Amino acid sequence: YRLKTNALLVTALLATSPFLVYLSQDARMYSLLASLTLGSWLLLMRVWDEPNRRSAWIGWAVVTLLMLATHHLGWVVLLGELAAAVVWHPSTLFGAGRHPRYWIGATALIVLGYLPILATTLDQVQGRLAETSLQLGLDQRIIDLVGAVYRMLAGRTFLALTPSHLVTLAHDHLGQFFLLLLTLLIPLGLVARGMVW
């Protein structure tokens, strides 16, 4: 019953999230990235349930590789998955049995599959770094980094909402402002609930 309730709640959140609705209208890679991220996490949980099953490891590695090839933010997801594995399922990576070998094989598959686009990734990272002058002081670089993260996560993604727009939204359209907060806070609550259970 609890699983069905959670599934319905997550489906409702996905269907009404302004983040995903906006991105579904944008002919870019973000919707595919969201789908592959979900698939990667689901397959990782299957690996945790059946760590000695080779097909589970291969499935996770292939979907994770596709996620990484879709967008560089996939690396952040992969780091989160590895952190979760180390904290909640360390035996999957370091335990006895065949699964440590499967872990090494899955990692090798991801790395070897990513090698053909590594040069492009490095060029894009260097291009981003070149956009900011290295003559700036450390404090200005930190401010620029925070600004870039804000623009990526909030400014562009959430329909160019700036802090001043959020204040206006809260003042003029309180109901819409609370709906926006719910779409941001409920997923965090579900994650916290999942950690407790």
Alpha-carbon gap, residue 26 to 62, rounded angstroms: 25
- Percentage of the chain beyond pLDDT 70 is 68
Helix, strand or coil, per DSSP, at residue 160: coil
Q: Would you state the pLDDT for residue 41?
A: 92
Q: Which residue has the tokens 């906006």?
A: 22
**DSSP character at residue 182:** H
Structure tokens at 13: 């959140």
Higher-pLDDT residue of 21 and 115 is: 115
pLDDT for 96 beyond 80: no
Higher-pLDDT residue of 11 and 149 is: 11
pLDDT for 193 beyond 70: no
| Measured CA angle at 86 (ends 114, 109), to 5 deg | 20
pLDDT for 7 beyond 80: no
Contact 37, 67 (CB under 8 A): yes
pTM for the whole structure? 0.62
Mean pLDDT of 80-106: 83
| Measured CA angle at 98 (ends 93, 111), to 5 deg | 55
Mean pLDDT of 118-144: 72
Contact 32, 74 (CB under 8 A): no
Alpha-carbon gap, residue 57 to 104, rounded angstroms: 10
pLDDT for 21 beyond 80: no
Q: Would you state the pLDDT for residue 157?
A: 47
Band of pLDDT at residue 155, cut at 50, 70 and 90:
very low
